[in-house]
């Protein structure tokens, strides 16, 4: 995952289904409502659903500063049941967020995109360094 700059979060969630044998709600996006002055849920929660078969062993995920967007979401998802460890010398880029509603055109044919929503469930942080490689012994 180190140099994965993201992609389609639905594809990442579908792929995660091959690593979990039970359904669970990953997170719920909320968006700012200027009429109420609050962030409110507008869509269904993102849910991980089991695929036809699953891998059930331990998982080690390597991340780096180029792990962005769906890469971060996928790395976060893999930590759900405690059998995955996320390892990296640098934290991820901190760029997980839904940008589908944040597409804007600028003069000169340029565009910009940024997240316009936020997850209601707090995202886990990737470690900046892993100390004690003995934590990796279960992956040998």
For residues 70 and 13, what is the distance between their CA atoms, to the nearest angstrom? 9
Return the higher-pLDDT residue of 74 and 129. 74
Q: Which residues contact 105 (CB under 8 A, 6 or more apart)?
A: 111
CA angle, 103 then 1 then 117, to 5°: 30
Statement: residue 115 has pLDDT above 80: no
Please give the pLDDT value at position 97.
65
Question: Mean pLDDT lowest for which of 57-61, 90-94, 100-104?
Answer: 90-94
For residues 120 and 99, what is the distance between their CA atoms, to the nearest angstrom? 16
Domain residue ranges of the chain, discontinuous segments joined by +: 9-124
- CATH for the stretch 9-124: 3.90.226.10
Summary mean pLDDT of the chain? 77
Please give the pLDDT value at position 113.
79
């Amino acid at each position: 995952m180190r140099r994965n700059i993201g992609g389609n979060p639905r594809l990442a969630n579908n792929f995660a289904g091959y690593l979990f044998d039970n359904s669970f709600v990953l997170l719920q996006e909320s968006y700012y409502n200027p009429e109420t002055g609050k962030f409110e849920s507008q869509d269904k929660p993102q849910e991980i659903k089991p695929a036809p078969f699953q891998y059930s062993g331990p998982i080690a995920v390597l991340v780096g500063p180029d792990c962005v967007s769906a890469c971060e979401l996928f790395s976060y998802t893999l930590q759900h049941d405690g059998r995955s460890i996320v390892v990296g010398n640098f934290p991820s880029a901190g760029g997980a967020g839904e940008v589908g509603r944040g597409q804007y055109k600028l003069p000169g044919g340029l565009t910009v995109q940024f997240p316009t929503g936020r997850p209601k469930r707090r995202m886990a942080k990737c470690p900046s360094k892993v100390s004690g490689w003995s934590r990796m012994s279960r992956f040998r």
